[in-house]
Amino acid sequence: MDGKWINEIPGADWQRFKGPVEAWERQDEPIYRVPVGSAFTITLDGSALKNPTVAEIAMIGPGYSLEVQDINIAPGQKDTLQVSADGMQLSYKPGANESPDIVLADEGQDNVDFEFWVKGFEMETGGAINIALDTQKGQLRVNTIGNKQKGTYALVVTRYSETDAQEFGGEFTLDPADTVYVDYVKWQGNGKPLTVEIDYGSDGTIDETAELEDLQNYQPRVE
C-alpha cells in the first residue's frame, strides 16, 4: 500500500522476480507465497495506469494450478480474483466488460491429469464468473451469478495420460442464475460428446442433462 509491503496473511511473503535488467525496469509484480490452506483475494488495480495494459495471474499449488490470462486493464479499472482455501474454487469479477481466459489444471488419479480452459464472451461489469473443480465427482462447475444477460462460454478440456493427450472443444450458453456441471471424467475421448448437467436457478437440483458436441480442432472466436 502506497509503495509499502503490508502482510495481513500469517506465513505469507514475497520475492522480486529474478530476471534481466529490463524486467526490473518494467517494475514487474513480485512473486507472492501464500501458505497452503489460505483463502485470499487478488485485486488488479489500474488506478496508477496512464494507458491500458494486458495482465495475467498465475498460481501454483500442491497438485493444481490456475491462471487468468489476457486480462485487459484500463486506467482506473479494478478486477478481483477470489480463490478458496483448497484452490479448487475461484471467482473472477471484472471491473469492465471483458473476457479473460481462465485455465485450471489438476493432477488426477491413475496418472491421468486434466486441464480446463474457460472463456466467457462479453462478461459484464459487476458480474462474475465462478468456477469450481470437484475432483471427487469428476465435475467442473460454472456459473455467472450476478450477470444480467445470457452468456456464451468456450470450453476446452484436455486429458493427459502416460500415452497421449486428448482434447474436447466446444461452447455452451448459460443464463445468469443457472449453473452447469461438466462431467469431465465420463468423457470418452476425441470426437465424443461431453455430458453436462444444468441446474436452472442454481437451487441444487439438476433440471436437465445435455451433451456438448466435440468441435474437433476447435478455435474459440475472439470478441
- Does residue 3 form part of some domain? no
For residue 23, what is its C-alpha cell? 524486467
Q: What residue numbers bound the domain in which 136 lies?
A: 39-212
- C-alpha grid cell, residue 221: 472466436
pLDDT at 24: 45
Predicted pLDDT at 9:
79
Q: Does any domain span residue 30?
A: no
Q: Report yes or no on 174 lying in a domain.
A: yes
Give the number of domains in the chain: 1
In this structure, is residue 31 part of a structural domain?
no
Give pLDDT tens digits for 35-67. Answer: 888 899 999 999 999 999 999 999 999 989 999
Give the C-alpha separation, 223 to 202, whole Å.
Answer: 28
Reported as half-sphere exposure (CB side, CA atoms, 13 A), residue 29 has a value of: 11
Question: Counting runs of H as helices and runs of E as strands, what totals does the chain give?
Answer: 1, 16
User: Per the domain annotation, does 121 fall within a domain?
Assistant: yes
Residue 161 lies in a domain: yes
The pLDDT of residue 26 is: 53
Longest dimension (CA), the chain: 56
pLDDT digits (tens, 9 = 90+) for 135-159: 999 999 999 877 788 888 899 999 9
What is the pTM for the complete model shown?
0.86
Q: Residue 27 has what pLDDT?
A: 60
Asked if residue 1 is part of any domain, the answer here is no
Q: CA triplet 57, 148, 197: central angle to 5 degrees?
A: 75
Residue 118 forms part of a structural domain: yes
